């Protein structure tokens, strides 16, 4: 019987339980499918596609060293399964369990129904510390169980199939498909090789300044781990990273222990938030607090200026321009941009969330949509995270180094004026698009007044 390994958001060979399980079989078919319905759903962009393409090329090369290759097709899953069945009859499929939004969850249900109807077995293995069918309270125990599992080794060899079905190609076929959207450039290269390099350089050098620069926009890109995209697209596993961190912590050599511990707890959060979308695959559309429905609206002009980084607020615009260039921001910058758009401009969190999902390369539905709702004040019972963008600018970029790196018009502006250049008699930058204090205070009052209303049924 042929064993298919379906690679989804897990483009790696180390610690890949489905690949490991299939490696004992006589005929193995490594498969990756670009499903237009998933790529057209609105939350993914060209930026992600570029990363996925690089990840697949890298995976293909690794599989070739094992004597096999990655078989790629641009199609929906059911026609793909039909082709496999027409070629071999019954087959077995292995994959990681995917924790995504409703459309991927529904796709998986259709795949399961098809496999059952054709008496083909599909084994889905947890790839994070998340178990299907459990609830928040059970997480810690499963996380421990997951982390205790072995790191599955890279198979030495992988026997290929005797008959390759029609309609599959190598990873070069990926160049023939273009997903919608405009954001394309991407400084981080996708793939397991790049992920391992990134992890090693973090442990060897960046841990030294990790905590110090975590919230500092001018330095966090060169001090943070920058592993989120590799975790999201599965170029490296949580488990192998956790074990590597433990090895560094246990090492007799002098290591920045606080940084390593902090990193370790963040990696743990990754699973915690992935679990949120497993439980609520509709978190990109259904507000956790329905009392806020209808409060936020769409102001096309404001939204366009926010997206382009031309609001007239230097720090907000610098963050946005940096995001366009680097596909990444640190946590505080992401939170501030979300809060500015959803709480100050009162733009709909779903529109803002979709645009930001397309923009950062590490878009992970569970983390992303939980944070978008959280930063829009839809989760905490009493608190709304409203950031004062001028205070944030002065606190995290006191000399304006970051602003100047992104906004050439302000290159000659002094650090005393760079945060609020509109106060100068001759403002060298775009005029602010809103009267900041007035709108912020008005909307703060509006949003907090809703928190005081009697709680209506909150969507689960």
Nearer to ligand FAD, 74 or 211 (CB): 211
Q: How far is the CB of 399 from ligand FAD (least distance, A)?
A: 23
Alpha carbons within 13 angstroms on the beta-carbon side of residue 225 total 23
Sequential DSSP letters for 300-336: HHHHHHHHHT-SS-HHHHHHHHHHHHHS---HHHHHH
Task: Report the alpha-carbon distance of residue 153 to residue 134 in Å, rounded.
Answer: 28
Residues found near ligand FAD in the complex (CB under 6 A): 224-228, 231-232, 263, 266-267, 269-270, 273, 330-331, 334-335, 338, 360, 362-364, 367-368, 371-372, 375
CB atoms within 10 A of CB 445: 9
337 touches 343 (CB < 8 A): no
Min dist CB 338 to ligand FAD, Å, is 4
Nearer to ligand FAD, 29 or 202 (CB): 202
How many CA atoms, within 13 angstroms, populate the side-chain half-sphere of residue 55? 29
Nearer CB in complex with ligand FAD: 193/371:
371
Structure token digits, residue 352: 């803002």
Q: Which bin fits 27, alpha (ψ -120 to 50), beta or left (φ > 0)?
A: beta
Min dist CB 370 to ligand FAD, Å, is 8
Q: How many CB atoms lie within 10 A of CB 94?
A: 23
The least distance separating ligand FAD from the CB of residue 433, rounded to whole angstroms, comes to: 21
| Least distance CB 174 / ligand FAD (angstroms) | 23
Minimum separation from the CB atom of position 357 to ligand FAD (A): 7
- Smallest distance from the beta carbon of 128 to ligand FAD, in angstroms? 10
Residue 189 carries which DSSP code? P
Characterize 384-422 residue by residue with b for buried, 16 or more Cβ atoms within 10 angstroms of its Cβ, and e for exposed. bbbbbbbebbbebbeebebbbbbbeebeebeeebbbbbe
Task: Closer to ligand FAD by CB, 135 or 269: give it.
Answer: 269
């Amino acid at each position: 019987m042929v064993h298919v390994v379906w690679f989804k958001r897990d483009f790696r060979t180390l610690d890949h339980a489905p690949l490991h399980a299939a490696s004992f079989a006589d005929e193995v078919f490594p498969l990756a499918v670009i499903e237009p319905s998933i790529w057209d759903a609105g939350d993914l962009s060209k930026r992600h596609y570029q990363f996925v393409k690089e990840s697949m090329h890298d995976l293909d090369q690794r599989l070739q060293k094992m004597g096999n290759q990655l078989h790629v097709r641009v199609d929906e899953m059911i026609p793909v399964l039909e082709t496999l069945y027409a070629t071999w009859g019954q087959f077995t499929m292995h994959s990681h369990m995917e924790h995504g939004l409703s459309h991927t969850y529904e796709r998986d249900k259709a795949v399961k129904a098809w496999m059952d109807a054709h008496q083909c077995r599909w084994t889905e293995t947890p790839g994070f510390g998340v178990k299907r069918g459990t609830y928040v309270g059970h997480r810690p125990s499963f996380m421990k169980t997951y982390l205790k599992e072995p790191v599955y080794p890279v198979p030495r060899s992988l026997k290929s199939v005797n008959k390759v079905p029609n309609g599959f190609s190598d990873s070069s076929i990926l160049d023939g498909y273009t997903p919608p959207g405009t954001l394309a450039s991407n400084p981080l290269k996708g793939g397991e090789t790049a992920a391992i390099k990134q992890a090693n350089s973090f442990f060897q050098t960046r841990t030294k300044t990790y905590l110090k620069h975590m919230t500092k926009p001018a330095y966090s890109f060169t001090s943070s781990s920058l592993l989120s995209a590799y975790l999201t697209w599965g170029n490296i596993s949580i488990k192998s990273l956790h074990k590597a961190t433990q090895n560094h912590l246990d090492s007799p050599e002098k290591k920045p222990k606080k940084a390593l511990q902090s990193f370790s707890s963040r990696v743990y959060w990754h699973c915690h938030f992935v679990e949120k979308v497993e439980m609520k695959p509709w978190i990109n559309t259904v507000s956790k607090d329905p009392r806020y429905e209808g409060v936020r609206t769409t102001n096309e002009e404001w939204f366009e200026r926010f997206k382009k980084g031309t609001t007239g607020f230097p720090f907000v615009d610098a963050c946005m321009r940096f995001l366009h260039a680097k596909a990444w921001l640190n946590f505080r910058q992401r939170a501030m941009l979300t809060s500015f758009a959803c709480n100050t401009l009162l733009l709909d969190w779903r529109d803002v969330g979709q645009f930001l999902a397309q923009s950062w390369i590490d878009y992970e539905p569970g983390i992303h949509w939980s944070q978008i709702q959280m930063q829009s004040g839809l989760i905490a019972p009493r608190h709304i995270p409203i950031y004062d963008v001028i205070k944030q600018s002065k606190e995290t970029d006191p000399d304006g180094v970051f602003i100047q790196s992104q906004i050439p018009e302000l290159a000659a502006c002094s650090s005393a004026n760079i945060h609020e250049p509109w106060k100068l008699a001759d403002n060298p930058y775009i005029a602010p698009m809103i009267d900041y204090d007035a709108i912020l205070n008005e909307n703060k009052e509006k949003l907090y007044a809703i928190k005081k209303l009697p709680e209506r049924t909150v969507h689960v």
